[in-house]
């Protein structure tokens, strides 16, 4: 089943690579670069999956996920990061539903979290 996927990634090459992979997996990805754009996208469209890098130029993936939760998004929420999850565990707080994808990850890792 094709899913609308919001990719929040400030690295242009990584974001476009992820977009290409998700397209090849028959999903409908949309790549944006910032927390500000993520908030606008969450307010203006329904997403089946939201994937955000932890470190963004204007915020964090935790802020993206917190915003999605406050807006009562029923999306699958995923943070990807090269940081150890334990190092931001406190920051994650009440976001137990957010899935974690450690970088580097494989296409199989991505598929497993999305499906």
User: pLDDT tens for residues 76-109?
Assistant: 999 998 877 777 777 778 788 899 998 899 999 9
pLDDT, residue 78, reads 96
pLDDT, residue 82, reads 84
Question: Considering only CA atoms, which of 52, 70, 69 is closest in space to residue 61?
Answer: 52
Query: CB–CB of 31/11 below 8 Å?
Result: no
Question: Considering only CA atoms, which of 23, 74, 30, 70 is closest in space to residue 52?
Answer: 30
pLDDT, residue 72, reads 92
Entry pTM: 0.93
82: helix, strand or coil: coil
User: pLDDT tens for residues 14-48?
Assistant: 999 999 999 999 999 999 999 999 999 999 999 99
């Amino acid at each position: 089943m094709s899913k609308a996927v919001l990719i929040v990634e400030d690295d242009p090459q990584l974001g476009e690579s992820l977009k290409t992979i998700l397209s090849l997996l028959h999903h409908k990805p949309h790549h944006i670069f910032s927390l500000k754009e993520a908030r606008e996208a969450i307010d203006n469209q329904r997403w089946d999956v939201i994937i955000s890098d932890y470190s963004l130029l204007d915020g964090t993936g935790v802020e993206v996920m917190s915003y999605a939760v406050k807006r009562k998004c029923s999306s699958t929420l995923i943070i990807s990061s090269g940081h150890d999850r334990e190092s931001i565990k406190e920051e994650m707080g009440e976001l137990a539903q957010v899935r974690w994808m450690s970088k580097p990850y494989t296409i199989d890792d991505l598929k497993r979290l999305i499906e």
